[in-house]
Amino acid sequence: MFPPGAFGVGVTVAELRPALRDDVAVPAGVVRRPSRLGDLLPVGLMTPEEKASQLQRVEEVEAALAAFKAELVVGLATDRPARDDRRRGQVGAASGEWAATLLDEDVSEFFPDELALVLNCSRAAATRLWEGSTTLLRRLPATWAALADGALDWSRARAIAAELGWPARESPDDVVAAVEAAVLPQAGGLSITRLRALVRRELIKADPAAADRRRKQAEQAADVTVRGVGDGMGELRATMPLPAASEIRARVDAHARALKKAGDPRPLGQVRSAVLHDFVTRPEHEWPTVSAHVEVVASLDTLESGAAGAPGVGTDPVLVDGEPVTAALARAILERLDALCPGGLQAPADGTLVLSVTDDDGRLLASVTRRELETAVRRGEGLGCPPAVDRYAHTPAQERFLRTRDRTCRHPGCSNRAGWADIDHVVPHAHGGATDCTNLCCLCRRHHRLKTFAVGWLHVMTPDGVLTVTTPSGVTRVSRPPGMRPDDDGVLRVTAERAPPIDDPPPF
């Protein structure tokens, strides 16, 4: 863990037996405690670049330790065989319902209890660790190897294992292996939220029939729960089908924003909570009509494959507000909105319909309304990116294209929705940056301010929308528009020449 170009000396320290007595004097300045890494590698002597490099090395070491920990957990589990447990029909045996929830029938049902005491954690946390460890070692060997080699951090390895563990227990090993092969090359360049969504999307694509079975089983487990979170506050959690959850969230958010626009001084989140409470406790209240937006991203072939009798095997899943669902569920959502009918796709009542065209690599080529598409076909015109304009303000067509392409804030790791983000010039307009989709991207207000005012940051975007962001310490992360296939691991260690800070007049 020494900085590049430095030298280190290895020292072996053996414990003294017997240990020093309390009455033994130690030299001045010497304390009775173990050596710390900060004593061996003084942080105060490092440059910012060296500190960033050391943080990445710590991530690699933590990943290797996590892989070793998984081996230890699985190894200890094999030392606790189920043959010592009470069998079905014997006095004291687990009931049928409890037995059905056991993770591994070859391991003692009491192993999680032992692991919890070993690690001084809850039984639930121990069970999750055991499940993740077992999944990595037995079903995801390439992911475990990347973790052990420090090429993949524990958070992302755990996310992959969580999606391909218990939820995918009915899927064959070859299906899980195919999903792992598709996901692992992209994992390092995605946020945890996007990574888990990608795993779910690939799992639906590889085994849509099993996905529909899991969805129906999950619907049966739907419930509403409450738990206290301290300070007199409570959390209400409702588990329900995604279309219903999206509809409730969209309506609550639309009413809350309408109240904010009318002058409500409370924070938006607090207004949302109050609106939801009033929806439930005052159903007779006369609520004003509001419009809600639900984003459905799908190919026409996928929607057609979801028809009755066509399971849609091998087709890409559909994204509903960024969440992957099966083609059958997507058709049900569109039919409920009256957007899918015998005449084809159409805008729902009081809603809008935007059709997006991408190439084979997932690059957005055009985003048009149905009328614009029909007009282009009738005139024999092609579709493409909205043209650039010779002014600072972007056009409505450019905004629609950019929000469709980006879907969220484009700062690496940020998942704030593009619908509430700013449209920002990557190269500032005041310094020659064009008002063109090749120089515009969606940034939430925080990351718009970071790009404009934070010292030492560098933002560069390619014509097809691939954004690279370099920190003042020289670490570059790559952000691609969702759906675009990657061509590298998304993490670069470079020393970039930075331009001086540039003022771009943002809408702050």
Tell me the pLDDT tens digit for each residue of 380-428.
Answer: 777 788 999 999 999 999 998 999 899 889 999 888 887 778 999 999 9
pLDDT of residue 348: 66
pLDDT of residue 393: 94
The helix/strand/coil state of 408 is strand
pLDDT of residue 65: 96
Contact assessment for residue 455 and residue 472, using Cβ atoms and an 8 Å cutoff? yes
Check whether 185 has a pLDDT greater than 50.
yes
What would the pLDDT profile of 308-319 be if each residue is shown by its tens digit?
444 444 456 777
pLDDT of residue 311: 44
Interval 138-160 mean pLDDT = 94
CA gyration radius, the chain: 27
Burial class (CB in 10 A: 0-12, 13-18, 19+), 155: middle
Give CB contacts under 8 A, 24+ apart, made by 81-84: 81/106, 81/107, 81/108, 82/106, 82/107, 82/108, 82/109, 84/108
Interval 456-467 mean pLDDT = 93
pLDDT of residue 340: 62
pLDDT of residue 312: 43
pLDDT of residue 169: 81
Q: Which stretch of 180-189, 286-295, 377-386 has the lowest confidence by average pLDDT?
A: 286-295
Half-sphere exposure of 171 toward its Cβ, with a 13 Å CA cutoff?
30
Name the pLDDT band for 372 (thresholds 50, 70, 90): confident
Comparing 360 with 484, the larger pLDDT belongs to 484
pLDDT of residue 494: 33
**CB neighbours (10 Å) of residue 131?**
19
Name the pLDDT band for 491 (thresholds 50, 70, 90): very low
- The domain locations on the chain are 56-82+103-206, 238-281, 353-508
Interval 326-333 mean pLDDT = 73
Give CB contacts under 8 A, 24+ apart, made by 329-334: 329/212, 329/215, 329/242, 329/243, 330/296, 330/298, 330/302, 330/303, 330/306, 331/303, 331/306, 331/307, 332/243, 333/243, 333/294, 333/296, 334/296, 334/303
Q: Which stretch of 107-116, 204-213, 289-298, 438-447 has the lowest confidence by average pLDDT?
A: 289-298
Contact assessment for residue 405 and residue 367, using Cβ atoms and an 8 Å cutoff? yes
DSSP strands (E only) in 268-314: 296-297
What would the pLDDT profile of 494-506 be if each residue is shown by its tens digit?
333 444 444 455 5
Helices (H) and strands (E) in the chain, counts: 17, 15
pLDDT of residue 232: 84
Residue 218's H or E segment, with its range, is helix 208-220
Q: Which stretch of 162-171, 238-247, 271-280, 285-294 has the lowest confidence by average pLDDT?
A: 285-294
Comparing 14 with 83, the larger pLDDT belongs to 83
How much of the chain exceeds pLDDT 90, in percent?
A: 37
**CB neighbours (10 Å) of residue 311?**
15
Cα-based angle 203, 207, 211 (whole degrees, multiple of 5): 75
Query: pTM of the predicted model, to two decimals?
Result: 0.73
Check whether 306 has a pLDDT greater than 60.
no
Instruction: In whole angstroms, give the CA distance from residue 19 to residue 38.
Output: 24
Comparing 94 with 331, the larger pLDDT belongs to 331
Instruction: In whole angstroms, give the CA distance from residue 155 to residue 190.
Output: 11
Interval 138-155 mean pLDDT = 94
Q: Which stretch of 126-130, 297-301, 405-409 has the lowest confidence by average pLDDT?
A: 297-301
Comparing 43 with 337, the larger pLDDT belongs to 43
pLDDT of residue 270: 93
Check whether 132 has a pLDDT greater than 90.
yes
Q: How high does pLDDT run on average in the chain?
A: 81
Check whether 104 has a pLDDT greater than 60.
yes
Q: Which residue has the tokens 């120089």?
A: 439
**CB neighbours (10 Å) of residue 143?**
24
